[in-house]
Amino acid sequence: MIKFFRHIRKNLINEGKTSRYLKYAIGEIILVVIGILIALQINNWNENRKLDNVELNLLYEIKSNLNESSRMLEYTLEANKELVKGYKILLKHVEEKKPYEESLDTIFGRISYWNSPYFTSTAYETLKSRGSEIIQNDSLKQQIVELYEAAFVYLSKDWDQSMWVDRESIIRPYYAKHFAEELDENVNKIFAKPNDYEDILNDSNFTNILRLSITSLDGGNLACNGINEYIKNVINAIDKELDSRNFKLSTDD
């Protein structure tokens, strides 16, 4: 009987030890799981921070590109306005049958010219390669995409291509036939003298060419002006996004 109670007592002690061990083991497992979850959370936080840095640095680069594009667009706009101004002077001169003046040679030399718009898009190309979803602000993302994929494409391809076609198929052939071109290296300007001034005075094709150039350039200038305003709006939107997220320029990926 005594041996029986000793056996029971030993079993109870062993069960108590096992219970304590199980509690300890479970506690250890819980601590390990919590540690893993914390590590994953920290890792996710670090990855999100890196993605935020990539996004904000990319927005900063897009803003820099847009500032450069805006300056180039303003130059294009002013240069083409000067062309329109010259074409209008020449058109008035010819329509009123005024006598030839040597000062017109500068305008004659520019008849087949126009200034093409160029845009800096290296940052946007990086955005496309990474995926536009990296930009968290959906409204800002849409503005940037529309600017590059619609507005810039219209000017640099649709409008510019139309100008090139008109020049190559209509204006250049007429120009080559009726004008003698000269380059003044001292002032780095091209001048052109009409082969027969009286002939172009009475040629409706010439005035039609001038009107075509004026109309085409006016349309392009209107688009340039509107798109430049759009660029400035997008730059302001990027500035607000960067400010709201306390952006500091970083090289972290």
Both tokens of residue 92?
Answer: 């008035």
What values do phi and psi take at 31, rounded to 5? Answer: -65, -40
CA angle 239, 240, 244 (to 5 degrees): 120
* DSSP alpha helix (H) spans, 112-203: 122-130, 138-146, 152-153, 160-166, 172-178, 197-201
Q: Give the residue from 117, 114, 118, 109 showing the smallest Cα distance to 84.
A: 114
pLDDT digits (tens, 9 = 90+) for 11-61: 545 555 556 655 656 666 665 666 665 555 555 445 455 556 889 999 999
pTM value? 0.78
Direct distance between the N- and C-terminal alpha carbons of the chain, in angstroms, rounded to an integer? 77
Residue with tokens 């536009």, as numbered in its chain: 132
* Whole-number pLDDT of residue 248: 77
CA dihedral sign of residues 216, 221, 65, 58: negative
DSSP 202: T
Both tokens of residue 201?
Answer: 């005075």
**Sequence-ordered list of residues with C-beta below 8 angstroms from that of 197, at least 6 positions apart, any chain:** 100
* Whole-number pLDDT of residue 234: 97
Give the residue ranges of the chain where pLDDT is below 70. Answer: 1-52, 184-188, 250-253
Domain boundaries, the chain: 2-244
* Whole-number pLDDT of residue 5: 44
* Whole-number pLDDT of residue 236: 97
* Whole-number pLDDT of residue 127: 93
